[in-house]
Amino acid sequence: MKKLSLQFLALFLAPMICYSQVDYDKIKKATDKVFIKNVIIHDKPGSTIEYGSILIEGGIIKEIGKKLNEPNDALILSADSLHVYPAFIDALSHSTIKKKEDGDRPKVKFPGAPPDDVAGITPGKSAFDDIDAESGDIKTMRELGFGISHIAPRGRMLPGQTAIVSLSGKTKNEILLKENVAIYSQLRTSPGVFPSTMIGVLTKFRELYKQAEEANNYLTKYAASPLGMQRPAYSEAVTSMIPITKKKQKVFFKAESAKDVHRVLALKKELGFDLVLTDVKQVYPVIDKIKSSNVPVMVSLDLPEKPEEEEEEEEEKEDDKKDKEDEEELTSEEMKKLKERKAKAYNDYVSQLAKLDEAGVTFGFSWIKAKPKKMLENMQTLIENGLSEDTAMKGLTKVPAQLLGISNIVGTAEKGKLGNLIISTAPIFEEDSKIKFMIVDGEVFEYEIKKKKKKSDTGEEIDIAGTYTYEIDQFGASGTFVITNDDDDYKLIMTSADDGNEMNAKNVIRDGNSLSFDLKVEEDGFSMDVSVGLDFEDEDFEGSVSTDFGAAPIEGSKVDPN
């Protein structure tokens, strides 16, 4: 069942642009030269070569500039007046790594002293072991403009060693650029055993770190002369931490909230390792602290949902109620203030990266929590709120390249670097910009540009019957809907991806390309009405799930019947 839901997830993540039928792979076999001509080259943030050309040979940029001679033995990409960018670099994600089941945790006799792997302490484990080169994530990331991913294993406090891979279509061994790049850590606890709390995690990290310092000292002496010394008996977890104590490896430490940023910075200050703050979502309260710490920071593009605007209707209602009891008036006043605070908090989030930039902090983007699929949409929101496009671009290219020690091969479009390029129909962060070609590691991928049909354009009713996957991000829920249409009598069956429970919707009403229905949820003697409204467009839908206590967004897409 779990596998099935992952497949659904992959389908759900499939972008609206699809592969074309052009098979460049065949051509590539005849030549490993690619010539891109007459394009606007954004070779690095803030720099442009108008109507230039690029020659890639063997995956390397051989020539870049104006007035290059067109070779007669190259694959020519007719990319007239398209825009070329260095491909994005994912500063850290779990791309291609499957989520682990939580259900089957082994029973341990002494919860206070569990085996390291049960405790989530596997700093020696390589992400490469878990990387799945067949995973749809590679295709998805590439379609979004990424050429390289820095991948961390999934897990708890110390999941293991990261790896850098190329997002080409090659085999597992071929895509690996670098293994054991850094250690990934997070304040994630291990339910039921030590460390079961965040304070336990911090304590355990300290202990392992200090033991690693001692182990290094012991092992060095032992290696020099073991005579008279006991055989070293350090755990693998401890010896795997030695490189970070010697600053030979960085620690990418996930710190989503401002509080966690404080905690992780305090730990770094105490122990002295090379820290990269990772996946920081709540930046605005800690801008000064991050700046003064001089620690590199990878921010999350996981933005909050924009709060709904105050509806005018409600204000009218307020007028009607004027002669009602004071208490009710006060309460609606209170509600208004709460909504204002929410709106302000939203603005704090969407304007925080502009402020971080203003403070002079360079930052990149990591994708542990944020969905790459939402990148362009969220980046546009940030740009609307003051983030400069150059800074955004740097964060997606130069900054991660430097941080990962690969800026000599990627991060900018320069002669001699890898020809990892995005070719888009318009400046990359513009709303209508679409990626036409991706070149990764010498391989060319072409995408068919589909025009989004707007409802207002056609007004045409689409056939919404079929099977869809859905996701309610806020609840971490997913599954499928089966919508049937029997002569305009619509029925909907909802199936959870997790346990396969089915539920028949009531009051299924179609209006234009919208569908609304109700569900009655009964659980442990409680019952609750949930109403759902969906707007369909092409093969996707978006909408909201409403309960008495608030609404959550829902989205999904049609499952290919074949």
Interface with other proteins in residues 405-434 (CB under 8 A): none
Is residue 359 involved in binding other proteins (CB under 8 A)?
A: no
DSSP string across 475-524: GTEEEEEEEEEETTEEEEEEEETTT--EEE-EEEEEETTEEEEEEEEEET
Q: Burial letters for 211-227: b for 16+ Cβ neighbours within 10 Å, e otherwise?
A: bbbebbeeeeeeeeeee
Residue number, 75 or 552, with CB nearest to other proteins: 552
Is residue 343 involved in binding other proteins (CB under 8 A)?
A: yes
Residue number, 173 or 501, with CB nearest to other proteins: 501
Is residue 203 involved in binding other proteins (CB under 8 A)?
A: yes
Is residue 4 involved in binding other proteins (CB under 8 A)?
A: no
- Contact with other proteins (CB under 8 A) among 206, 247, 317, 450: 206
- Contact with other proteins (CB under 8 A) among 346, 385, 389, 514: 346
Is residue 110 involved in binding other proteins (CB under 8 A)?
A: yes
Say if residues 118 and 108 touch (Cβ distance below 8 Å): yes
What is the 8-class DSSP label of residue 121? B
To other proteins, the closest distance from the beta carbon of 552 in angstroms equals 8
| Bridge partner list, 520 | 529
Residue number, 134 or 270, with CB nearest to other proteins: 270
- Contact with other proteins (CB under 8 A) among 320, 431, 486, 523: 523
Vertex 361 angle, CA 274 and 47, to 5°: 115
What is the distance between the alpha carbons of residues 41 and 84, in angstroms, rounded to a whole number?
5
- Scanning residues 488 to 507, which ones bind other proteins (CB under 8 A)? 496-499, 501
- Contact with other proteins (CB under 8 A) among 178, 188, 339, 371: 339
To other proteins, the closest distance from the beta carbon of 508 in angstroms equals 19
The position carrying tokens 């809907």 is: 481
To other proteins, the closest distance from the beta carbon of 333 in angstroms equals 9
What is the distance between the alpha carbons of residues 296 and 255, in angstroms, rounded to a whole number?
12
- Scanning residues 536 to 555, which ones bind other proteins (CB under 8 A)? 547-551
- Scanning residues 423 to 482, which ones bind other proteins (CB under 8 A)? 472, 474-477
- Contact with other proteins (CB under 8 A) among 41, 121, 175, 202: 202
The position carrying tokens 């991660």 is: 400
- Scanning residues 252 to 291, which ones bind other proteins (CB under 8 A)? 258-259, 262-263, 266, 285, 289
Residue number, 162 or 378, with CB nearest to other proteins: 378
Residue number, 93 or 282, with CB nearest to other proteins: 282
Is residue 115 involved in binding other proteins (CB under 8 A)?
A: no
Q: Which of 326, 304, 278, 305 is nearest to 150 (CA)?
A: 278
Is residue 68 involved in binding other proteins (CB under 8 A)?
A: no
- Contact with other proteins (CB under 8 A) among 34, 64, 157, 193: 193
Residue number, 70 or 305, with CB nearest to other proteins: 305
Is residue 331 involved in binding other proteins (CB under 8 A)?
A: yes
Is residue 294 involved in binding other proteins (CB under 8 A)?
A: no
The continuous run of DSSP H or E covering 532 comes out as strand 526-537
Q: How many residues bind other proteins (CB under 8 A)?
A: 72
To other proteins, the closest distance from the beta carbon of 332 in angstroms equals 9
Cis peptide leading into 195, omega within 30 of 0?
Answer: yes
DSSP string across 302-356: -PPPPPPPPPHHHHHHHHHGGGS-HHHHHHHHHHHHHHHHHHHHHHHHHHHHHHH
Q: Which of 302, 304, 299 is nearest to 395 (CA)?
A: 299
Residue number, 4 or 335, with CB nearest to other proteins: 335
Looking at this protein, which amino acid is placed at residue 370? A
To other proteins, the closest distance from the beta carbon of 440 in angstroms equals 35
Is residue 113 involved in binding other proteins (CB under 8 A)?
A: yes
Q: Which of 290, 295, 283 is nearest to 250 (CA)?
A: 295
Residue number, 49 or 198, with CB nearest to other proteins: 198
Say if residues 526 and 547 touch (Cβ distance below 8 Å): no
- Scanning residues 215 to 244, which ones bind other proteins (CB under 8 A)? 217-218, 229
Is residue 198 involved in binding other proteins (CB under 8 A)?
A: yes
The position carrying tokens 């991050």 is: 290
The alpha carbon dihedral of 505, 506, 511, 514 has a sign of negative
Say if residues 471 and 485 touch (Cβ distance below 8 Å): no
Is residue 58 involved in binding other proteins (CB under 8 A)?
A: no
